[in-house]
Structure 1
C-alpha cells in the first residue's frame, strides 16, 4: 500500500489558476518515489469560490487582510466581532460591505462537509502551501484535520513560513508537525523518505538530466514501501516516533521539527541546483477539480510557469543586510541565490502545458525574468508558433528592441521594478536604476501595446520634499502613458530594511497591529509574522506624498476615459514616419488629435535617434553638424512642447510609433 501524500492550497489563492507550488511538488515527489507514494494536490479555494461567487471571492483574494479576517474568525470564533471590524476597515467605503458573519457561515458549512475529508482521512502526510493571504485558512484546516484524524502528520511550507517565520509559527501552533523552510522539493522528498523509510534519491540532488527532455516521462518506481506499523498512524504522545539523536538536524536541511521535549529545531535550506532537470508541474488534479465543479462553462485558466528562482540583483541576507538588494524587498526569504532555466527549456514548458491544458494564458511567477536571456528566450517562445498571452516581471533597464521582443513572444502584461521616479529615492531604495530607465520602459510599453502593471511606492521612509517634487515633475511628463499604481510602503520580515532598520530611521519593529486582531494576544506577542509595524516619519510622509496620490487618482480617471473612447488602439502622443519627415500627433483625453507637429531632415533624425534613452554627449557626437548651442536650443524646444523628456544629461523621445513598421525587423 503506498504512502498517501495530500498537498493543499487554501484560499485565498487566485481561483483562475492552479498552484504552481502544488504542481511542482507533486511532480517532484512522484518522480522520486514512483508508485511507493500516491501524491495528490487539492485546491479547496476552487470550491470556496463557488460558495461565495467569483466576484466576491476575487475581492477577498486581492486584499489580504480581508481574507485573513474571515478565516481568523473561523479559527477563533470569539474574535469574530474584532475580525468583522478589520474586514469593514478594508472593504471600500463606496460599496456596501457584505455581511461578514454570513461569509464566515458559508465557508464553515462548506469545510464541515467538504468531499476532501474522505481523502484526508486516508492520508499519511498532509502538506499546506502557505503564501500571501493563506496563513489563517491553512491554520484553520490543519487544526480541523488534527481534531478529526490526530495521527495524520502535517507539514507547512511557503514564503510565509520560511526561516525565522517558520520556526516561530511552529512554536505557536502545536498542530503543525513539520515546517519546510525555503524551497520545498528536496526537503519534502527527504521528509517523506525518513518518515516512511522510503528510498527515492532523497539524499542527493538527483536533478541532473537532459535539458531537452522532461523528466516527468521518466518516473522511476520507488525502491521501498511503507512499513506495516506506519500504516497504523498511531496517536498521542510520541506519535511521530523517536527522533534520531545523531546530529543537530535528524530530518535533514530545510526542515523544522519537534524534539521529544516539544522544542522546535532544524531549519536551514536545501535547493535544486539545476532547474532544467526539474519535472514539468503536474496540474492534472486542479483541472479535474475544476471540471467536476459543476460549472457548465469551460473557463480558460491561467497557467503558472517559472523560468527562474530568486533574484540575480538581490545578494543581501540576514547576516549581510548591507549587500546589494532592493532595500524594501522580502520576496527572496525562501531562496538562496539565483538560478534560471535554459531558454529552450522555458519555451518547451510553455508549449507542453499549452497542449496539455488547452490554454494560452500563462503567468511567469519569477521575481524577475533573466535579463541576460531575454533575446534567446523570446526567440525560442516565438518559434513555438503559439499565440501566447503572457504576464511576467522584469528588472530594468530594457531597451526598445528587448521590449519589442517580449511583445512578439506574447507578453501582454508586464510588471517592471519602477518603484520610484526620483534618482535620490532610487539610490536609497537600492534599485540600481535611474529615472530615465523607468520613463523609457513606460514609453516602450505604450509603443508595443504592453499593459504596464508597475508600481510607484509612496511614503518611503526618509523621502524628502525634493524627492516628491521630482516625482511630480516626471509624472507630468509621462501622463501620456498608462498610469502607474501607487502603493504605500510596507515593511516585510526579512527585507534589508527590516534587518537594518536604524539605517532608515525605523524604530520599534514588531508585528503589524492587525495580527493582534486576528490572533490571541499570547500568540501575537510571541510569534513573528510577515508584515511589520514600525515607528518613524510616517505622518510626515503621508502629508508629503498626498499631492502624488492626488495626481495618480486624476491620471487613472483620465486614462480610463481615453482608453474607453479609443478602445486602447491609439496613443496619446504618437508619430508617423514619412521617410524624410515625422508627423507627431497629440490627442486629448477624448482621443481627438488636438496638435500636430512636423519634424523634417536633421530634426527628424535627432528625434528618431532618441527612441532609446541617450546621453547628451553621445547625441552631440552623433549629430556633429549641429553646434552644441544649436542642439541644446532644439532639445529645449522639444522638451517645452512635451515631445522630449530630459533628465539630468539623458534624452528620450516621448512619442511612440503608431504604424506597423515598429514590429518589423
Structure 2
C-alpha cells in the first residue's frame, strides 16, 4: 500500500485511527462510501494534510488497499490451511475483518482466529457475535492460547470456547525474538527509490507497573506486569540490529521497566553502537538518569504527563505531582531527548480550580517542549468507564463513528464510547487552556530555532542565564557566589529546608526572598515545600 499511494499520503492517513478504519470499512461494507469518505477527511486534524484530501483521493486509497489485499488473497490456496490468524491492533480492525471475510468466502472450512488490542475484552466478544465469518477471538496474550487451540484441533478434541481469554505469559525471556524476514523481503521488492530502513518494534515488558490511571484502558488485554531481563533485551536488540542492518528501534511497552531499563541502556552504551530508541516512560526521571538515557541512544520518549493541575492529577490517579512532570520535561530537554507528551483537556467533572492551576503551571512549562492538547475520550474498561457515576457521566454508548464504519451491523461493545454529563461545560472551561497551548507552540516555533528559550552556562563561580520572553525579548541574569550554589542545588527538585541545611549561614528570610524573586521571574518552579531551577545547561557556545 505504501508503494501504491506514496509515503506522504500513507503517513497522513495512518496518523488517524478513524480515517484508517473508514477506508477499511469501504471494503467491508460497500455502498456507504460517501459517509465513510467524509468521516476519513473529517478525522484528519492537520490543516495542511486535510487540504490534500478529497473524496476522490480517499476512493483511490480504497482502491489501492483493495488491490493490495487482492494480491494477498490470490497468492495462496486458502483451502490448504486449517487456521488463519489475523492480529488487529490500531487502525486495522475494518481491514482485518474484510480480509477474514474474503478468506472465509474462498475457503469456508478454514478457521479464522482474530487477536490483538482491537478485540480485547467485551469488544472482542461483540466482534465475534457480530461477524459470523470469525470463528475464534483470543483476548490477551496469544502465544499460549493459539498453541492450545491448534493443539486441541489437531488432536480432534472438542473446542467449547470460541472467545478465549488468554492466560498471561509468566516468563518474558522465554519468548523467541521477533522474525521480520517477510517484511524485509517485501522491502527488497520495492523499487530502489522507495526503499527505506525501518524502525523495528520491540517489546521489553507487558502491562503497566502503575496501572491505576482512571482514564486509561491500554491494559485491557494485559494482566499484571512482567518484563524481559535487561541482558536478554540487549542481546535481542543487538541480534536484530546485526541480522537486519538497522539501528533504530521503538519499544511498544506501555511503560519501560525502571530498573531493567537502566541496566539495558548501560549495556547498550558500553557496546559503543549508534542505536536509537523510542520508549514510553512514567514521569519523575532524575537529571542523572535522563543524561544516561540520552547518551545511550534514547532519543524520543512519550511520557504520561497528562496534567499540570495537582487537583486533576489526583482525579486521574497518576501518582505523580506537577513538580514531577515539570522536572521530567526539564531533564529530558537538557539531555537532548525529544518529549512527546499530552495534556488531557475536558476531563469529566472539570472545575475552574483545575483550569486555573493548569494556567499557572503553563507559565513555567512553556520553557520546555510543548505538550499536545488532547480531549479526553472514554475507553472501554477504563476506571472512568467502570465507575462512570463518580465522574458525573449520565449515559454512555458506542461512539457514533462506529455506525459509519458498520452501517448494517454495528457491534454492541466498542473500544471508544461517547457520553453525556458535564461535557459541554468541561469544553467551555478548558477553552482558554487550549488557546494557551496554541500560543506555547507558536512561541517555540518562533524562538527556539537554535537553543531552548531558558538556558544557563556555568562560569565556575557564577552562572549566566539566558531567558527568552513572549515577544522574543532576551533577558540575561547573572548569579554569583552563594546564589550560584543555591541555583545549582535546585537543578533537581529540592525541599527548601534542605537548602537551608546545606547553607546554614543564610537566613530563612533572605532565602525565601531570593527564591521568590527567581519565581516571579520564571526561573524556578515552586510546588509545596519543593523548588526546581528551570534553566537547562547550554554547552553549545
Deviation at 1:96, TM superposition (A): 4.2
Whether the aligned pair in 2 keeps the contact of 1:382 and 1:408 (CA below 8 Å) is: yes
Whether the aligned pair in 1 keeps the contact of 2:138 and 2:165 (CA below 8 Å) is: no
Q: How does 1:413-562 map to 2 (within 5 A)?
A: 413-521=300-408, 523-524=409-410, 527-562=412-447
1:121 and 1:267 map into 2 onto residues whose CA distance is 24
1:623 aligned residue (491, 500, 503):
503
Given the alignment of the two structures, is residue 71 of structure 1 paired with residue 29 of structure 2, yes or no? no
Tell me the residue number matched to 2:460. Answer: 579
2:105 and 2:140 map into 1 onto residues whose CA distance is 28
1:273 aligned residue (170, 177, 182):
170
Whether the aligned pair in 2 keeps the contact of 1:643 and 1:655 (CA below 8 Å) is: yes
1:559 and 1:122 map into 2 onto residues whose CA distance is 58
Tell me the residue number matched to 1:344. Answer: 231
Deviation at 1:118, TM superposition (A): 2.2
Q: Which deviations, in whole Å up to 9, do the C-alpha atoms of 1:65-94 show, x marking residues without a partner?
A: 111111112111122222122123223465
Secondary structure of the residue that 1:651 maps to in structure 2?
strand
Tell me the residue number matched to 1:656. Answer: 536
From the superposition, tell whether residues 387 and 593 of structure 1 become closer, same or farther in structure 2 (CA, over 3 Å).
farther
2:496 and 2:314 map into 1 onto residues whose CA distance is 22
1:577 and 1:649 map into 2 onto residues whose CA distance is 26
Whether the aligned pair in 2 keeps the contact of 1:91 and 1:97 (CA below 8 Å) is: no
Tell me the residue number matched to 2:516. Answer: 636
Deviation at 1:194, TM superposition (A): 1.6
Tell me the residue number matched to 1:59. Answer: 12
Whether the aligned pair in 2 keeps the contact of 1:391 and 1:412 (CA below 8 Å) is: yes
Given the alignment of the two structures, is residue 81 of structure 1 paired with residue 39 of structure 2, yes or no? no
**Greater mean alpha carbon deviation, residues 482-491 or residues 339-348:** 339-348
Given the alignment of the two structures, is residue 301 of structure 1 paired with residue 198 of structure 2, yes or no? yes
Q: Which deviations, in whole Å up to 9, do the C-alpha atoms of 1:36-70 show, x marking residues without a partner?
A: xxxxxxxxxxxx12222111111111111111111
Whether the aligned pair in 2 keeps the contact of 1:366 and 1:392 (CA below 8 Å) is: yes
Tell me the residue number matched to 1:229. Answer: none
2:526 aligned residue (608, 622, 646):
646
1:559 and 1:60 map into 2 onto residues whose CA distance is 27
Q: How does 1:399-410 map to 2 (within 5 A)?
A: 399-410=286-297
Deviation at 1:589, TM superposition (A): 7.5
CA RMSD of aligned residues (A): 1.9
1:131 aligned residue (74, 84, 89):
89
Deviation at 1:111, TM superposition (A): 2.8
Q: Which deviations, in whole Å up to 9, do the C-alpha atoms of 1:137-178 show, x marking residues without a partner?
A: 101111011111212211000111122121121011111111
Whether the aligned pair in 2 keeps the contact of 1:374 and 1:402 (CA below 8 Å) is: no
Given the alignment of the two structures, is residue 169 of structure 1 paired with residue 54 of structure 2, yes or no? no
Tell me the residue number matched to 2:189. Answer: 292
Q: Which deviations, in whole Å up to 9, do the C-alpha atoms of 1:252-296 show, x marking residues without a partner?
A: xxxx51xxxxxxxx5333122111121111111111111123344
Secondary structure of the residue that 1:301 maps to in structure 2?
coil
Unaligned stretches of 5+ residues in structure 1? 1-47, 198-240, 245-249, 258-265, 315-324
Deviation at 1:101, TM superposition (A): 2.5
1:571 and 1:596 map into 2 onto residues whose CA distance is 14
Structure 1 length-normalised TM: 0.78
Deviation at 1:593, TM superposition (A): 8.0
2:446 and 2:276 map into 1 onto residues whose CA distance is 25
Q: Which deviations, in whole Å up to 9, do the C-alpha atoms of 1:584-625 show, x marking residues without a partner?
A: 1124689x8822111111101110001111122222222222
Secondary structure of the residue that 2:76 maps to in structure 1?
helix
Deviation at 1:122, TM superposition (A): 3.6
1:631 and 1:424 map into 2 onto residues whose CA distance is 28
Whether the aligned pair in 2 keeps the contact of 1:69 and 1:84 (CA below 8 Å) is: yes
1:599 aligned residue (479, 486, 489):
479
Q: Which one has the bigger helix percentage?
A: 2
Whether the aligned pair in 1 keeps the contact of 2:187 and 2:195 (CA below 8 Å) is: no
Tell me the residue number matched to 1:97. Answer: 53
Deviation at 1:110, TM superposition (A): 3.4
2:142 aligned residue (184, 190, 194):
184
Whether the aligned pair in 2 keeps the contact of 1:307 and 1:364 (CA below 8 Å) is: yes
Whether the aligned pair in 1 keeps the contact of 2:82 and 2:110 (CA below 8 Å) is: yes
Secondary structure of the residue that 2:305 maps to in structure 1?
coil
2:233 and 2:394 map into 1 onto residues whose CA distance is 44
Secondary structure of the residue that 1:154 maps to in structure 2?
strand
Tell me the residue number matched to 1:23. Answer: none
1:178 and 1:482 map into 2 onto residues whose CA distance is 45
Whether the aligned pair in 2 keeps the contact of 1:455 and 1:487 (CA below 8 Å) is: yes
Secondary structure of the residue that 1:311 maps to in structure 2?
coil
Whether the aligned pair in 1 keeps the contact of 2:290 and 2:332 (CA below 8 Å) is: yes
1:116 and 1:615 map into 2 onto residues whose CA distance is 67
2:534 and 2:74 map into 1 onto residues whose CA distance is 55
Deviation at 1:658, TM superposition (A): 1.1
1:431 and 1:593 map into 2 onto residues whose CA distance is 36
How many residue pairs align between the two structures?
536
Q: How does 1:311-322 map to 2 (within 5 A)?
A: 311-314=208-211
